[in-house]
A and B are shown apart, each in its own frame.
Chain A
Amino acid sequence: MKQNIFDIYITAAFSLIIPITGRMAFGLVTIVELNILVFFTFGFSYLLNFLDIDDLRTISPMIFMVFLAVFLQCLLKIFFPIVAFSMGFSQYLICFSALAIGTLFPHSEKISFKSQFKSLLSLMLPMSIILFCFFALRDVLGYGTLTLPGPWGIMEIKCFRGFDGIPFFASIPFTFICVGLLAALFDFIRTKVIILHRSTD
């Protein structure tokens, strides 16, 4: 992965992890919404490519993504009203993170739909797993629970008896430090992989 792509990828991930409340219920909603936005917009962009509509190729996927985000927000308000109310403004951040990931979309007519879809999946799958792990970790350490979104709020599953969590672990400063350590780990692995590739060449 090139340095600028890696930077966009990391910043898109942590701009979601940091401001959204550190509970697994909100994390699950975020992951589902992000994936829907990214994959549907990718489909829409591919359709524009397929129909040879060149004039709208840059703007219309962005507009489509915002339309879809508002539609998803309405659905969230219907099915999980308290989760939607709690997330508030941060729901729009998902849309703009998806827009940043959108700049990494493989736009080319020469590459087949299948291979474009595969490369997008290879971008989104690790990101979803990282997001899920982060939200679950913050939930367990910060509150001592695992949570799921429900129609009357969030359903809590107690993890350990007698452990109510340490609030600092669910806080934003701790998340910054954690994301920093994760970025260091990724950078370390990336550097090693680059060295390995060069040595084999």
Chain B
Amino acid sequence: MITSYVFFYYIFCISTCLISGVGLQQTFFFSKNLDKFASTIVTCFFVSTITVIAMWLTAVPLLCPYGLGDLIPIFAFLFVLLLSKILNIFFMSFFSKSITGIALSTIIVLFALSEANSLLVAMCFVLICLISITIIVLLQFVLQNRILITDAPEFLKRTSLLLISTGIIILLLHSWSISWLNLEDLK
């Protein structure tokens, strides 16, 4: 079972978003516009959790004993695609809004399946990834708003200062542990 130490370690110290790159691409789009963020995170939570359960109960026991574990990403992606399409029909008919996040859900599912050793741990990893992405997006959104009101040149305001600030945030998150004493940890 995943301990609370590991849970927080994956969220803050080795943030799955910043270090492993889960959803890193999406965080920079959401940091500029939070409009669809909440709906994407909620959709991703449902899609990823259901897909992880489905993969763990069907694809993993069927494929892994025969050495066909490499095919799991294909089945995971197809399942995410199918589930997203069904949810999209539901959202379109009730809220007249389309949903996004197929790529994000697939990355989270693949990360959870590659890191976990049981179904419960895999579901915990889905939660960890989503919390980590939420924290980074909110941090970057605040940073971006602060950057926009500064007197910095226009070409620095768009992406550059945000990226440099994110680099410094990682250093701060790492200072929580004693990893500075062991530089190999940062490689």
Q: What is A's interface to B at a CB cutoff of 8 Å?
A: 7, 10-12, 14-15, 18-22, 59, 62-63, 66-67, 69-70, 73-74, 77, 88-90, 92-93, 96-97, 99-100, 142, 167-168, 170-177, 179-181, 183-184, 187-188, 190-191
Asked whether, in the complex, the Cβ of B29 is within 8 Å of the Cβ of A7, the reply is yes
A63 to B162, CA, bound (A): 33
Query: Is B43 among interface residues, defined by CB-CB distance under 8 A?
Result: no
Asked whether, in the complex, the Cβ of B184 is within 8 Å of the Cβ of A10, the reply is no
Given contacts A19-B21, A167-B184, contact A93 B107 (CB under 8 A): yes
A89 to B81, CA, bound (A): 20
- By secondary structure, the B interface counts as helix
The 8 Å CB contact of B74, one of A66, A174, A188, is A66
The 8 Å CB contact of B167, one of A11, A92, A180, is A180
Interface residues of B in 33-54 (CB under 8 A from A): none
The 8 Å CB contact of B163, one of A88, A100, A179, is A179
Asked whether, in the complex, the Cβ of A177 is within 8 Å of the Cβ of B164, the reply is yes
A-B pairs with beta carbons under 8 Å apart, 17 shown = A10-B159, A11-B28, A14-B24, A14-B163, A15-B21, A15-B25, A63-B77, A89-B115, A90-B21, A92-B110, A96-B25, A167-B184, A168-B186, A171-B186, A174-B167, A180-B167, A184-B159
A12 to B114, CA, bound (A): 22
Task: Kindly provide the distance from the CB of A185 to the nearest chain B CB, expressed in whole angstroms.
Answer: 8
A78 to B2, CA, bound (A): 33
A93 to B107, CA, bound (A): 8
Query: Is B124 among interface residues, defined by CB-CB distance under 8 A?
Result: no
The 8 Å CB contact of B164, one of A11, A20, A93, A176, is A176
Nearest A residue to B76, CB-CB: A66
Task: Kindly provide the distance from the CB of B91 to the nearest chain A CB, expressed in whole angstroms.
Answer: 17
Residues of B within 8 A of A88 (CB): 114
Residues of B within 8 A of A66 (CB): 73-74, 77
Residues of B within 8 A of A12 (CB): 25
Contacts A70-B73, A180-B163 known; 17 new A-B pairs at CB < 8 A: A10-B159, A15-B24, A19-B21, A22-B187, A66-B74, A74-B70, A89-B110, A92-B73, A167-B184, A176-B166, A179-B163, A187-B155, A187-B156, A187-B158, A187-B159, A187-B160, A188-B155
A142 to B183, CA, bound (A): 11
Query: Is B135 among interface residues, defined by CB-CB distance under 8 A?
Result: no
Residues of A within 8 A of B20 (CB): 19, 89-90
Task: Kindly provide the distance from the CB of A1 to the nearest chain B CB, expressed in whole angstroms.
Answer: 13
Asked whether, in the complex, the Cβ of B161 is within 8 Å of the Cβ of A180, the reply is yes
Residues of A within 8 A of B183 (CB): 167-168, 171
